[in-house]
Amino acid sequence: MAELVNSGHTIHFETELQPLKTFLEDAKYSKIFVFADINTSAHCLPVFQAMLDDFSTFDVIETDPGEENKNIDFCIGIWKTLLDFEADRKALMINLGGGVITDMGGFVASTYKRGIDFINIPTTLLAQVDASVGGKTGIDIDNIKNMIGTFSLPQAVFIESAFLKTVPERELLSGFAEMIKHGLIIDKDYYEALKTSDYKNISPELVYQSVAIKNKVVTEDPLEKGLRKILNFGHTIGHAVESNSLSKDKKPLTHGEAIAIGMICEGWLSHKNSNLTRAELEDLTAFIKVTYPQYTIKSKDFKGIQELLKSDKKNEHGQILFSLLESIGQCEYNCKVSDQDVIESLNYYNSVYDI
């Protein structure tokens, strides 16, 4: 399959890591570290090793899985481990895992001795189509997502469907939301193709197209000064609903489930405040409704969700700015929306399941 080149680093698809061998041979790193969590260490490390064919020696740095461990305490632990292993500036870190691993591993690598090289091997659908591309690294602080981080590009990204085989279904569904988003904001044909696909068995070709869309956007605007903001479609309300769910629900929403909700709400806002037609709104609503489980946003939580919106990282000068669809396949950014409309969009989401 093709590869994508993005300001000097390459995203490789379905290569069974063969280019990684050449890369490691040429680059002559002083030490190689594989960073994984206990799940990817169990499920992905054997696949990785088989592909590399015992080609190279490396040390594994293992961490606990999940967003709750994507924090500065774990980073300190990893920095100290690198010190203990006497990692110098010519060391390489290979991040083998989901978005938590690629985000946190990227942050640790980009700050250790002011930056060592790293490679991302995303092992969830979400990390493949979203987290591993675009150079954002980050960790949470006080449970606020990605408050600390850098913009740092990996040396290369390797995307292999082989790793997806062990990913739990609910995690696949989570990543699928970002693919739908990519279609909605940029590519109507891609969106239509997703409608007839099966998220439990996503084809490498669809993954490739999703990465290509994200890569195109971030290459045009690496530091999120403008265009890149369209990637936030569904994420403004989605993030607030996600945080609210994390703090209140026994079984909280995944990121993708929350973004699916956010896309319905912001679809409604797009119809109200931008040019999305009623028919288009109904189309995306129906697709998301058959794909994602029902959820109710409690009206007593509306106020809290509005508070969360106000503290969104992407706000500027205290103003909440939305990315809204002008049509399916076209998105504009920096749109202002009234508080009242936000509430109505939440009501719209709830009403969808009444019918």
Ligand X SMILES: NC(=O)c1ccc[n+]([C@@H]2O[C@H](COP(=O)([O-])OP(=O)(O)OC[C@H]3O[C@@H](n4cnc5c(N)ncnc54)[C@H](O)[C@@H]3O)[C@@H](O)[C@H]2O)c1
Binding stretches for its own copies (CB under 8 A): 30, 72, 76, 79-80, 83, 86, 88-90, 107, 110-115, 136-138, 141-142, 144, 146-151, 311, 313-318
Residue 113 binding result from ligand X, its own copies, none, given CB thresholds of 5 to 8 Å by partner type? its own copies
Which H or E element spans position 308? helix 302-310
Write the CA distances from 281 to 165, 219, 273, integer angstroms. 33, 29, 12
CB proximity list for 167: less than 8 A, separation 6 or greater: 123, 124, 125
Q: How far is the CB of 145 from ligand X (least distance, A)?
A: 6
CA distances to 54, 89, 98, 247 from 37, in Å: 21, 24, 9, 24
CA–CA distance, 19 with 25 (Å, rounded to integer): 10
The only residue of 75, 91, 101, 288 in contact with ligand X, by rule CB under 6 A: 101
267 binds, among ligand X, its own copies, none (CB under 5 to 8 A by kind): none
Could you tell which of ligand X, its own copies, none binds residue 162, using a CB distance below 5 to 8 A set by kind? none
The three-point CA angle 77-83-88 to 5° equals 135
Q: At closest approach, how far in Å is the CB of 4 from its own copies?
A: 22
75, 87, 100, 173: residue in contact with ligand X (rule CB under 6 A): 100
Instruction: Find the shortest distance in angstroms from Cβ 271 to ligand X.
Output: 26
Evaluated on CA atoms 99, 105, 109, 112, the torsion sign reads positive
Give the list of residues 6+ apart from residue 222 with CB closer than 8 angstroms, or none. Answer: 7, 134, 135, 151, 228
Residue whose CB is less far from its own copies, 114 or 251: 114
- Contact assessment for residue 175 and residue 143, using Cβ atoms and an 8 Å cutoff: no
- Residues contacting ligand X: total by CB under 6 A: 31
**What's the min distance (Å) between Cβ of 149 and its own copies?**
5
- Measured from the CB atom, is 30 or 143 closer to ligand X? 143
Whole-number Å distance between alpha carbons of 22 and 25:
5
Give which of its own copies, ligand X, none residue 187 binds (C-beta under 5 to 8 Å, depending on kind). none
Of the candidate residues 13, 32, 121, 130, the single one contacting ligand X (CB under 6 A): 130
CB neighbour list of residue 343: distance below 8 Å, 6 or more residues apart? 302, 306
134 binds ligand X (CB under 6 A): yes
Binder of residue 308, out of its own copies, ligand X, none (CB less than 5 to 8 A by kind): none
| Binding residue for ligand X, selected from 24, 29, 37, 155, defined by CB under 6 A | 37
| Packing angle, helices 302-310 and 235-248, rounded to 10 | 120
Q: Which region, judged by CB under 6 A, interacts with ligand X, from 8-16, 130-138, 153-161, 337-345?
A: 130-138
168 three-state secondary structure: coil
- Kindly indicate which of the ranges 4-12, 22-30, 126-134, 240-248 contains the residues binding ligand X, using the contact rule CB under 6 A: 126-134
Q: Least separation, in Å, of the C-beta of 140 and ligand X? A: 8
CA atoms within a 13 Å half-sphere pointing along the CA-CB vector of 117? 16
Q: How far is the CB of 77 from its own copies (least distance, A)?
A: 11
Smallest separation (angstroms) from ligand X to the CB of 68: 9
- Alpha-carbon distance of 248 to 317, in angstroms, equals 29
**How far is it, in rounded angstroms, from Cα 194 to Cα 23?**
34
Distance CA 335, CA 226 (A): 12
**Residue of minimal Cβ distance to ligand X:** 99
For its own copies, the closer of residues 72 and 193 by Cβ is 72
Minimum separation from the CB atom of position 88 to its own copies (A)? 6
| Residues making contact with ligand X (CB under 6 A) | 37, 39-40, 43-44, 65-67, 70, 97-101, 103, 123-124, 126-127, 130-131, 134, 136, 145-146, 163, 166-167, 171, 174, 255
